[in-house]
Amino acid sequence: MNTSNYKLSANNAHLKYTDLLPYKEESKTTQEFLQKIIDILIDFVKATNDRNEKILDFHHPHDMLKLLDLKIPEKGYNLQQLINDCATTLKYQVKTGHPRFFNQLSCGLDIVSMVGEWLTATANTNMFTYEIAPVFILMENVVMTHMREIIGSNWINGDSILAPGGSISNLYAFLAARHKMFPNYKEKGIATIQGQLVMFTSDQSHYSVKSCASVCGLGTDNCLMVPSDLQGRMIPAELERLILDRKAKGHIPFFVCCTSGTTVLGSFDPINEIADICQKYGLWLHVDAAWGGGLLLSKKYRHPRLSGIERYALY
C-alpha cells in the first residue's frame, strides 16, 4: 500500500485531530479524512482477495522496526501522517483472508461481518442497558434465542450470554458448573466446598481450560489431562479411570471439558460416550467448540446429544 495514494487536499493535510468533529467542522475535513481511511481499508480488502498479492511482506522484527516510526510523540501528528500510518500498518499485515493463506484457525474475511464491526465501532456504545443501545440489545436477544433454538427446543426459555472469545467461554463454563454444584459458593466462598474439586479435559485441549484451575483456586494439579488417541480424541475409558481414581481419594470431580475441534489437530472428542460418563457420575459437561462449533451445530452434523444433555454449555 503506497501512502502517496492517500493524499489529503492541501488545505487539510497539515490539520490535526482538533480540526475534526466534534471540535470543528470546516470545509468537510472530517468527511475527507474518513474517506481516505475507507479507501485504505477497501484497498486492503481487495489486495486480500487478489491471488497475485503477497500474503505477507515479511521482515524480521529488527528490520521492521526500521520501517516503522513507533515512538509515542509528545504532540499529536497531523491528519496526513495518521493516514500514512494506517496505510503502513496494513501494508505489513498478514492477509489472513487471502486465497493462499492456509494457517489454522483464521478464515476468510467476511465482508458483512466486517461491516458489522465498523457499525458497532461507529455507534461507540456499550451493551449495559436498553436505554444506551436499544437496537443492539434487542438484536442480542434475538441472536441468543436463535442459538438456543439450534441447540434444542427445551433451551428456548433458558438463558445465555455472548462471550468475547474461547478462553473466557471456558471460564464461564467452569463457573457455571461450580455454581450448579455449589450454589452457595457465590455468597459463602470456598468454605462451602468440603473437599478438593477436580476437573478433566483432554491433553489436546486449549491451554485456557487448564488456566481455569489456576485462576479459580483449584490448582493446576487438579485439572487432569485425559490422554487422547492417535487422532487426538479424548479416550473415554481413560476419563472414567481418572474420575474413579480421584473419587477413591475423596476428591470431588465436577467438570469435564470436551473439545469439538482441537486447536492443533481439529479433532472432535466423542461427546456421546463422554456424556454417558458425565451422567453416570453427575459431572457437568462443557463442550469447547471455539472453532468447530459451526460444524457441531449445523443441521447436517448436529450432535444427537445436544438437546438430551441436562447441563450443557457450548461456546
Ligand X SMILES: Cc1ncc(COP(=O)(O)O)c(C=O)c1O
| The one among 19, 240, 269, 288 contacting ligand X by CB under 6 A | 288
| 148-154 contacts, C-beta under 8 A, 24 or more apart | 150/297, 150/302, 151/297, 151/306, 151/307, 151/312, 151/314, 152/306, 152/307, 152/308, 153/307, 154/307
Give the interface segment with ligand X, choosing from 5-13, 239-247, 258-266, 302-310 (CB under 6 A).
Answer: 258-266
| Cβ 263 to ligand X shortest distance, Å | 3
Question: Cβ distance 273 to 245 under 8 Å?
Answer: no
Q: Nine-digit cell at 292?
A: 468447530
Which amino acid type is present at position 92?
Answer: Y
* Residue listed under C-alpha cell 516510526: 69
| The one among 42, 64, 68, 105 contacting ligand X by CB under 6 A | 105
Q: Closer to ligand X by CB, 166 or 232: give it.
A: 166
Does residue 295 come out as left (phi exceeding 0), alpha (psi in the -120 to 50 range) or beta? alpha
Q: Does 233 bind ligand X (CB under 6 A)?
A: no
Question: Cβ distance 74 to 44 under 8 Å?
Answer: no
Question: Cβ distance 145 to 139 under 8 Å?
Answer: no
Count Cβ atoms below 10 Å from residue 171 Cβ, excluding itself. 17
Q: Closer to ligand X by CB, 253 or 261: give it.
A: 261
Q: Choose among 42, 49, 59: nearest CA to 1.
A: 42
Q: Does 208 bind ligand X (CB under 6 A)?
A: yes
* Residue listed under C-alpha cell 455507534: 123
* Residue listed under C-alpha cell 458425565: 278
Q: Closer to ligand X by CB, 33 or 291: give it.
A: 291
Q: Does 206 bind ligand X (CB under 6 A)?
A: yes
Residues 262-281 close enough to bind ligand X by CB under 6 A: 262-263
Q: Does 291 bind ligand X (CB under 6 A)?
A: yes
Q: Does 259 bind ligand X (CB under 6 A)?
A: yes
Q: Closer to ligand X by CB, 84 or 208: give it.
A: 208
Distances (CA, A) of 315 to 130, 166, 268, 289: 25, 7, 14, 5
| The one among 99, 108, 158, 165 contacting ligand X by CB under 6 A | 165
Give the interface segment with ligand X, choosing from 40-48, 76-84, 140-148, 259-267 (CB under 6 A).
Answer: 259-267
Q: Does 166 bind ligand X (CB under 6 A)?
A: yes
Site size toward ligand X (CB under 6 A) is 13
Q: Closer to ligand X by CB, 193 or 271: give it.
A: 271
Give the interface segment with ligand X, choosing from 2-10, 71-79, 225-233, 288-296 (CB under 6 A).
Answer: 288-296
Binding region for ligand X (CB under 6 A): 105, 165-167, 206, 208, 259, 261-263, 288, 290-291
